[in-house]
Structure 1
């Protein structure tokens, strides 16, 4: 055997060891980082402050979970339409974005235990009839965020209404004030602490009953890729811990004058 061929083999073995060690190092490092996606344009749940930093209830919850897990949180904003595809493409490890737990979504992702409840409500001009049944809203224009549980609910049940889809809840609210839609449908808490507190909402109110369950989901959970039992167990453990030690309630009180569960 030539000296060069022996050298080549030794070099290849040495290179393989170095590559394996590097991969192990990266894997070990990755275990100490939780990559999280949130929506980023959905105050008070997640939004960017004047400095462009992500803030909000979901952001604080994600950071509290990482603290319990002794992991570093890397939180990024992701458009709602692409938030599940991004998870499936492994751009991040979890979605902490007040995502409703629905049967349709459970076909694509797994969810942690519920970490808050969601009630959906219609908003319209004061004095509007409280009847918001599909028959009563026939021919009416309804604004809703694209890709939301409320969008799915309207698509399935309000076939005789003109449903308009928006990239953000705020865009739908602007069109309600401008008279381009008759109603908007969304998360009651979001409206309560956001739109309904602003001067432009003085002529508007919640219309109709609280809506929840079915297509509107069974509360909200943190989404992870399917077949991730270890991560799911860690997240559920951390959620239980922040609820037990008061962290969850302290974060909630920072944003809301009421409990979310």
Structure 2
């Protein structure tokens, strides 16, 4: 896991080349500074790259925002938004009714299944019966934590971690029996040398729209319709003009937008 990171002022600013910012102040976009491939990763220079970083870049360019990435621990993102330390969250945050009690969301910009992985050689599936008596690791303050607590009540223990990478590491070390997260993020771990050696996919969990939501969107403050509308228009524009597909093809062999 990345415990520390470097980010120069230039690296923190995401802006379209040759496009003047429409706002006097940059749009501060909060994200959790942890490796979450292929969505967010830090390169050798400490600059953040990945599918979601490129999508944020494209949204900001289309909306004519100068956007500044602001690193904040995952469970502090919503408080930072509501207290106006940041203006938006673009960090694989699922749109849920529970979160909408506190913040608002843009339209979705991707939607993928939720999966469970576990040790190679152990046969079980991503069901309450399959996970009965097992120690399940999840990232704190996520829809996955909520899902596991609701559906896998016969688990021996539910362990919560500050980052998904920590859960993956404990799974590889044999300290937990399974972990649940976004299928794409878990697949990236399974494709790593460590993941290939230790673990495999046990299956996708049953849908629960009330918890998992209809997809991932940009979080904005309640009542900030101006920012929400501009982000929504930008999402639609990059879907229509091919930019979304252009970025997605670099990382995936399918349309991550979902049905």
Partners of 1:209 and 1:48 in 2: CA distance? 28
| Unmatched tracts of structure 2, length 5 or more | 1-21
Contact kept, 8 Å, 2:143 with 2:211, in 1: the verdict is: yes
Judging by fraction of residues, say which structure has more helix.
1
How far 1:200 sits from its partner (Å)?
2.1
Match of 1:40 in 2: 33
Match of 2:236 in 1: 240
- Aligned CA RMSD, in angstroms, stands at 1.7
**TM-score using structure 1 length:** 0.83
Partners of 2:256 and 2:117 in 1: CA distance? 20
Structure (1 or 2) with the larger CA radius of gyration: 1
Match of 2:48 in 1: 54
Runs of 4+ in 1 over 6 A off after TM superposition: none
Q: Spell out the pairing of 1:97-176 with structure 2 (5 A cutoff).
A: 97-161=91-155, 162-176=157-171
Match of 1:185 in 2: 180
Partners of 2:103 and 2:160 in 1: CA distance? 24
| Unmatched tracts of structure 1, length 5 or more | 1-26
Match of 2:214 in 1: 218
Of 191, 203, 207, 2:202 maps to 207
- Secondary structure of residue in 1 paired with 2:24: helix
Of 68, 74, 77, 2:68 maps to 74
**TM-score using structure 2 length:** 0.84
